[in-house]
Amino acid sequence: MITIENKLQCCGCTACAQKCPKHCITMAPDAEGFLYPVVEEQSCVDCGLCERVCPIQNPCDRAAVAQAFGIQTRDEQIRQNSSAGGAFYTLASKILEEQGVVFGAAMDEQFVVRHRAAQTREELLPLCMSKYVQSELGDTFSQVRAYLKNGRKVLFVGTPCQCEGLLRYLGGGEENLVTMDFLCHGVPSPKVWKKYVDAMKEKYGANAFRFRSKAVGYRKSAVAFETADGRLEHAETSEDEDVRFMPRAFYGLFSSRPSCHACAFKGKARATDITLGDLWHIGRYAPDMDDDKGTTFVAVHTDKGRQLLESAFDSVRRVPVDVEAYLKDDGVNMICSMTPNPKRDEFLRNLETMTISELSQTYLRQKQNPVKNLAKRILGAVGVLHLIQRAKYRFHTRRYVNSQK
């Protein structure tokens, strides 16, 4: 029977809960707002299935990167409404053309982020764009299994841990399944997101939230929403510190799940067919593609992934990318866990008692350090910044893991 003695050992993938033959595991939120499995012990028959499907206890086989590209869809409207270059929508459309089903994360009417299925191009649109909050998977793994049993092709997109959870749940050998993960900075708490949504609704009558609005360009893409009087309030341009709360909590590493700081799914090799990411330095490979509208880094791990990508070549602009150079410029999150902010636990403990403004004032005010910024620029220019960052992240991850024992 699954027991969570250390929260670093559970990424919340739901594989155990969805697999339990007695349906005696529920996913319940802890005080920080993250879901963990809770077993109703009287109904448990000690079959051990929940432990066997856990992707942290039993990691999947992983394949190296075979090829990598910078990709931009030729459909500029889709690109504008995607986080990076729109590779997800383009590849997902190919699955739909084969009467397949696509699973990804969308916001519901209450702005709760949940995984759901899409069977038409219209249904794909809400799945586009990163949502920087942990998505609720519900019973999507069993839905995937049902579609596969009926002979349908399925594309499942999610965090690396969600994808490995699904693969463990299914048990392997699914020819019709394609899985796609992404470089993963970590997933913030749904409770932090809800607090932000509620505060912005109250203050601005906020609606139509999006996490990566490109209204002021790809490099400045950030959370934005429409106000009751029809204005766009954008975290990059807003004068209100409260509007910047969500991206600051995310990038400042105050709000991620504990397991994200000792992530068991890092590495160039993946269990998925394809890995996506942001390619900020597209100019290094193709200066003519560097238009501040977004490019997706697409790494292929398997033949299935390669076939899907090649089927979409007509719909995209592409340029080959050197993976080692990408890791150096943009991709440190592919191989290293992010270090939590030293005040992360305190921030989350105060979530219920402090307002958004109080939390922003106390924890999220950004102090510029010109000496540190200059040192970073010099180290970057002589090509050693990435090595120092990797060593720093690895050191802090080890220290964090030891502190949680």
Binding footprint of ligand SF4 on the chain (CB under 6 A) = 1-2, 10-16, 20, 22, 24-25, 37, 39, 44-50, 53-54, 56, 159-161, 165, 184, 186-187, 257, 259-260, 263, 265
226 has which bridge partners?
Answer: 207, 232
Tokens encoding 302: 């398997």
Nearer Cβ to ligand SF4 (339/357): 339
Helices (H) and strands (E) in the chain, counts: 16, 13
Choose the contact partner of 2 out of ligand FAD, ligand SF4, none; CB within 5 to 8 A by kind: ligand SF4
Residue bearing tokens 């299914």: 170
Choose the contact partner of 157 out of ligand FAD, ligand SF4, none; CB within 5 to 8 A by kind: ligand FAD
What are the E-state strand segments in 97-196? 101-107, 113-118, 154-157, 177-182
Binding residues (CB under 6 A) for ligand FAD: these are 82-89, 104-105, 113, 127-133, 135, 157-159, 182-185, 187, 276-278, 296, 333
**How many CB atoms within 10 Å of residue 87?**
31
Instruction: In angstroms, give the least distance from the CB of 266 to ligand SF4.
Output: 7
Instruction: In angstroms, give the least distance from the CB of 182 to ligand FAD.
Output: 4
CA dihedral angle for residue 115, residue 119, residue 122, residue 125, rounded to 10 degrees = 30
Choose the contact partner of 183 out of ligand FAD, ligand SF4, none; CB within 5 to 8 A by kind: ligand FAD
> What does residue 149 show for φ and ψ, rounded to 5 degrees?
-60, -30
Is the distance from CB of 69 to CB of 321 less than 8 angstroms? yes
Instruction: In angstroms, give the least distance from the CB of 101 to ligand FAD.
Output: 13
Instruction: In angstroms, give the least distance from the CB of 299 to ligand FAD.
Output: 11
Choose the contact partner of 296 out of ligand SF4, ligand FAD, none; CB within 5 to 8 A by kind: ligand FAD
Is the distance from CB of 87 to CB of 104 less than 8 angstroms? no
Instruction: In angstroms, give the least distance from the CB of 16 to ligand SF4.
Output: 3
Instruction: In angstroms, give the least distance from the CB of 77 to ligand SF4.
Output: 29
The set of residues, in sequence order, having a beta carbon less than 8 Å from that of 365 and lying 6+ positions away, is 241
Residue bearing tokens 């690396």: 160
Choose the contact partner of 16 out of ligand SF4, ligand FAD, none; CB within 5 to 8 A by kind: ligand SF4
